[in-house]
Amino acid sequence: MSNLTTVTEFLLLGFSDIRELQILNFVVFLVIYLAGLMGNLLIVTAVALDQHLHTPMYFFLMNLSIIDLGSISVTVPKSMVNSLMNTRLISYSGCVAQVFLFMFLGSADLAILTVMAYDRYVAICQPLHYERVMNRRACVQMAAGAWISGILYSVLHTGSTFAISFCGGNTVDQFFCDIPQLLKLACSDSYLSETGVIALSACLVFSCFVLIIVSYVQIFTTVLRIPSEQGRHKAFSTCLPHLTVVSLYIFTATFAYLKPTSNSTSGLDLVLDVFYSMVPPVLNPVIYSMRHKEIKAALGKLIVWRFFTKNKRSIFL
């Protein structure tokens, strides 16, 4: 394949050529996917319906759950269908859509996490100004900025990636269309232009990480000045879920994108790729629901309400 126009489809990496293992892969991915959907849908529903959760922190958490819903839905269903249908094909347009949505949701995820770090900084370091700084309008503007920046970031990456000529075949060493694997198929001259975009995006990502780190340095400094141990524990406990989610995000992304590149994909590489693309969306709602009493209470009310209305409906029927 000498140029872009001849590429009409790509071949994704399969987990196995054995039919029984393909079915097993489908079942495992289905369980993980349903767990991610259920957890994030419960968070979104609980925050939307419970008036006690209509605060900036939970507003941003709802945005994070919506992003996680989309993120896990971009890659997993296609892999499940391919395993079930015993195929590896994905259309050119489908690959473009996967790249755009995955980059959009991933960058929006990082932006929301950065905004959430700022929210915790204002709540702990400037509590008297919290309601003024984190008012409804400001929260909506920050959330909208995160989503819009994700779109712009993704348009830049997707456009530069698929403007290249593919000279290395159409086999993608990944179970979904991922930019680093697509660049392996690129011609050298086009690869250099995409490298510039990657360098720019690396600076933006690094800036978000710096903002998060600076926020937590200020938070830790303020928390350590609180005289009572109970006060320090209460202040830090509100940050722990977010800090855990950020650490999980950094840990999985670091292992996925900074691991040594090779011409052949090993089983370990595939496991790491599955880990960073699927585990955070599944664990994020678990982390927040376990650490926040308000979320647990809202989820309990939601489950009880659903159970009550279902039984009430069955009685009348």
Model confidence over 47-82: pLDDT tens digits?
888 888 888 989 999 999 999 999 999 999 998 999
- The CATH code of the domain that includes 208 is 1.20.1070.10
Average pLDDT of 106-124?
93
Query: Comparing 72-76, 89-93, 96-100, 190-194, which segment has the lowest mean pLDDT?
Result: 190-194
Angle at 310 between CA 309 and CA 314, to 5 degrees: 115
Could you tell me the residue range of the domain that residue 126 belongs to? 4-316
pTM of the model: 0.86
Paired with 166 in beta bridges are 186
Residue 96's pLDDT band, with cuts at 50, 70 and 90, is: very high
Q: How many domains does one find in the chain?
A: 1
- Is pLDDT of 317 > 70? no
